Structure 1
Amino acid sequence: MKISHLLVAACLGTLSLAATAQWQWIDGNGKKVFSDQGPPMSVPEKNIVRRPGGTASTQAPAPSQSQLPSQPATTAASAALPRASASAGLPRPSGVDRDLEERTRRAEDADKARQAAEAERVARAKADNCARARQGRSTFDSGIRIARINANGEREIMDDTARAAESQRLQSIIDSECS
Structure 2
Amino acid sequence: MKRSSVLCLLAAAVTATASVHAHAYWQWRDANGRMVYSDVPPSGAAPRALRAPGRFAGEYQPVAAASAESANVPAAAPAHTKAAGKPKEAAPPPTAEEAFQKRRESRLKAAAEEARKETEAADREARCAQLRNYAAGLQQGMRAAVAGPDGSLQHLNSDQRQAEQVKTSASLDKNCS
What is the TM-score when the length of structure 2 is the normalising length? 0.48
What is the TM-score when the length of structure 1 is the normalising length? 0.47
Whose RCO is larger (CA < 8 A, sep 6+)? 1
